Structure 1
Amino acid sequence: MSMTAHTGEKRRNLVADVMQALGAEIAEGTFPPGSKLPSEARLTERFGVSRTVVREAIAGLRADGLVAPRQGAGVFVLEQPEEPQRPFHIIDYERISSVIEMLELRVSVEMEAAALAAQRRSPQQEEAIFDAAAELRRCAAQDQPTKEADLTFHLAVADATNNPRFREFLEVLGLSMIPRAALSLTERTGAPDYIERIAAEHERIADAISAGNSAAARDAMQDHLRNSMSRYRDLIRR
């Protein structure tokens, strides 16, 4: 590497370091929106770099929409727009009907996922489904949260379709598709066997997929999600 190239790479690394440090301070509120960044001279002294490095770092922050210069006044931090809520994440957990709406959507998608998984799963994918079903029981037996294991099971079924769009859809939903933790469902229903019923339903789905029975897998997934709707409707009646 030539001396010129080495010098250029070193400057780029220094610029990245300054950008990262200032960007983190902006994100943390050390420099809140509307505040003025320190002068070039102060930043040069603070980071031990040249003014050229500072100017390039500020230009990078400006390109990222974090700061903007004001003629004769300096460089100021910009107000960042609020990140819009992702689709399907606007769930009002105080309205059980909102949760049921989500489950109705899942029924239509995941019934077909289970049917396709029964046709297309590989041995490794089948094993992942059974492992996820067993993990839910293990978490329950050790009095650990089960929502991650629950989500993992449904993602394993989605993977076994060998159509990546099913996983993408469920990943958009994320843990919002497993709302029982937010609702404290077990405590509110007074049903200590609640997780046991979910585990048994998962195992029925896994068995149908393993048997290559698309109709049974579809029915088992439908029963599982409709049973979940019934449990949430019990909350409304209570």
Structure 2
Amino acid sequence: MSQPFTPVTSGARLSDQVADQLAAEIRRGGLVPGDKLPTEARLVAQFGVSRTVVREAVSRLKSLGLVDSRQGSGVFVQAPAAFAPLNFETRHAASQEAVIQMVEVRRALEAEVAALAAQRRSASDMRRIQAAVKALDAAVQRGGDGVAEDVQFHRAIADAARNPFLLQTLEYLGQFLHGATQVTRANEARRLDFAQQVQHEHAAIVQALEAGDAEAARQAAAGHMGNAIVRIRSADPGFWTQEGERLAQALVNARQRAS
């Protein structure tokens, strides 16, 4: 390993931060297929977390297909899965329609994720989801666009769904979905009515999750994504010429990295 990992801090879920650093090290080539991960004790020391956090992080890496355990030997980096990457056409990527299409993908996935989360969420899941909502609201009140906090909110719901295949799909699509989220959040931050709509929609999702109502959660999540599309289509022309196309460039960059 080229350098020690950075100790994680409060904020986003600790195991997610640990997993993200390990995944980044694997994807940049610092750890290659066949390499053994540092021991659990060493990871605990480097990240400054508990053994439970490290185990949760390694479990997430396993669900992503990045590592695998060998009985009595440790955890080893796996070769990437042999499947073709998404292949969006670059000429369409930096466009309003591309952003809308990515939100349509989110609507299909996150509606089902929310329904499963309503059925399977634990008390600790709900605490994380509620904390994510508060962090998002606080970011908006500070004048930010809340992109990172919005991603964390939806990630907390995905964790509660307890489906590693759905989670892995969202992780893989994250390089594209994050770019779309940047555009939608930047648009919504420009108008108070948009920001208030988003806040109410998030509250409806959380309420359905708390009630354990799968159908209400599905409808709330699908409605939230559908309304995001309406808000993008309703963006004033100035937004798209000033910010939208620049932010949507992330879709082009992600497409090029995946090709």
The one-character-per-residue Cα deviations of 1:162-187 (angstroms, maximum 9, x if unpaired) are 11222222222326424353474247
The CA distance in 2 between the partners of 1:136 and 1:108, in whole Å, is 23
Q: Which residue of 1 aligns with 2:86?
A: 87
Identify which of structures 1 and 2 has the higher relative contact order when contacts are C-alpha pairs closer than 8 Å and 6+ apart: 2
Amino acid at match of 1:102: M
The CA distance in 2 between the partners of 1:138 and 1:119, in whole Å, is 28
Q: 1:130 and 1:175, CA in 2 relative to 1: closer, same or farther beyond 3 A?
A: farther
Q: CA RMSD in A?
A: 3.0
1:203 counterpart = 2:203: yes
Q: How does 1:22-171 map to 2 (within 5 A)?
A: 87=86, 94-171=94-171
- Give the deviation of 1:123 after TM superposition: 0.8
TM-score, normalised via structure 2 length: 0.53
Q: Which consecutive unaligned segments of at least 5 residues does structure 2 have?
A: 4-27, 29-83, 239-259
The CA distance in 2 between the partners of 1:218 and 1:180, in whole Å, is 20
The CA distance in 2 between the partners of 1:199 and 1:103, in whole Å, is 18
The CA distance in 2 between the partners of 1:140 and 1:175, in whole Å, is 23
Question: Is contact 1:132–1:156 with CA below 8 Å preserved after alignment?
Answer: yes
Question: Is contact 1:159–1:166 with CA below 8 Å preserved after alignment?
Answer: no
- Give the deviation of 1:131 after TM superposition: 1.0
The CA distance in 2 between the partners of 1:108 and 1:137, in whole Å, is 25
Q: Which residue of 2 aligns with 1:7?
A: none
Q: 1:234 and 1:166, CA in 2 relative to 1: closer, same or farther beyond 3 A?
A: same
SS in 2 for 1:193: helix
The CA distance in 1 between the partners of 2:103 and 2:158, in whole Å, is 16
The CA distance in 2 between the partners of 1:110 and 1:88, in whole Å, is 22
Amino acid at match of 1:211: A
- Give the deviation of 1:210 after TM superposition: 0.8
Q: Which of structures 1 and 2 has the bigger CA Rg?
A: 1
SS in 1 for 2:192: coil
Amino-acid identity (%): 30
- Give the deviation of 1:144 after TM superposition: 2.6
Question: Is contact 2:188–2:231 with CA below 8 Å preserved after alignment?
Answer: no
TM-score, normalised via structure 1 length: 0.57
- Give the deviation of 1:145 after TM superposition: 3.5
The CA distance in 1 between the partners of 2:148 and 2:125, in whole Å, is 18
Q: Which consecutive unaligned segments of at least 5 residues does structure 1 have?
A: 1-15, 18-26, 28-84
The CA distance in 2 between the partners of 1:158 and 1:196, in whole Å, is 23
Amino acid at match of 1:181: Q
Q: How many residues align?
A: 155
Q: 1:217 and 1:198, CA in 2 relative to 1: closer, same or farther beyond 3 A?
A: same
Q: Which residue of 2 aligns with 1:181?
A: 182
The one-character-per-residue Cα deviations of 1:56-98 (angstroms, maximum 9, x if unpaired) are xxxxxxxxxxxxxxxxxxxxxxxxxxxxx96378775641111
The CA distance in 2 between the partners of 1:180 and 1:174, in whole Å, is 10
Amino acid at match of 1:121: R
1:172 counterpart = 2:179: no
The CA distance in 2 between the partners of 1:157 and 1:125, in whole Å, is 8
